[in-house]
Amino acid sequence: MSILLIGFACSTHVPHEFDAQALIDQAIFAHGANLSEKKVSFDFRDRTYTLRRGKGSYTYIRAWQDDSLGFVQDILINSKEFTRFQDGDSVALDDEWAAKYASSVNSVFYFFQIPFVLNDGGAIKQYEGKFEISDEPYHAVKVSFSENGGGEDHEDLFMYWIHKEFSTIDFFAYSYTTDGGGVRFREAINRRKAGGLLIQDYVNYEAEKGTPLKNLPELFEQGNLKVLSRIENTKVKVH
């Protein structure tokens, strides 16, 4: 993977190489500080997503025009309160479907906001050592979640590879247990800036279930991961 230099100003603080929290903080700085008091919108797979972050609260909105349902809006507040609207009217949903829709909305926004969400409550960070991927040096940080504050998917496990020099997250991986479970590895592509934020898309690879996350860079370089999809966000606007 070729590394694109964006020209962010360097911080005067250089994180200790074994300090997971400092590495995450440096990555957040490299990707554009934070999303507080910002409104961000983008298109993903024919739907428009809008994020609004205030002090202590945030709102996720997914909207699209459906031939049979009309104009649909899914609104999720603080990842807990979910409501669906069709042509401006709220729709009664049973708990199971409301939870599925909320999880779908939350997932798209979570991945879009990496690394800004890595300091959310419930995240437990651990330094996992030095790696070399595509002849570039990286520090690896593992992120797990406490049951109290980690959300419904607190059993998920993530690993982020942070470039040693530029502090960008060029690769990350995760294992999950929902829907039968699985393991994914993502490679950052199409890096660009929007409103001061570093935006990037991903090639999404699939690994055999149960594969340790720390083994994925080697499998990636060997060509032993299957390309599953491309995660591409378009029309990104930051206010």
The tens digit of pLDDT for each residue in 8-64 reads 334 444 445 689 999 999 999 999 967 888 899 999 999 999 999 887 789 999 999
Is residue 9 included in any domain, yes or no? no
Say how far apart CA 145 and CA 34 lie, in whole Å. Answer: 21
C-alpha of 93 from chain center: 27
- Give the number of domains in the chain: 2
Residue 131 tokens read as 């790696």
Q: Which residue, of 90, 112, 134, is where some domain finishes? A: 112
H or E stretch at 227: strand 226-231
Is residue 10 included in any domain, yes or no? no
Give the residue ranges of the chain where pLDDT is below 70.
1-17, 33, 148-154
Say how far apart CA 94 and CA 105 lie, in whole Å. Answer: 17
The pLDDT score that the predictor gives to residue 121 is 81
The pLDDT score that the predictor gives to residue 150 is 47
In this structure, the answer to whether residues 20 and 54 fall within a common structural domain is: no
H or E stretch at 21: helix 20-30
**CB distance 58 to 51 below 8 Å:** yes
Is residue 170 included in any domain, yes or no? yes
Is residue 174 included in any domain, yes or no? yes
Is residue 56 included in any domain, yes or no? yes
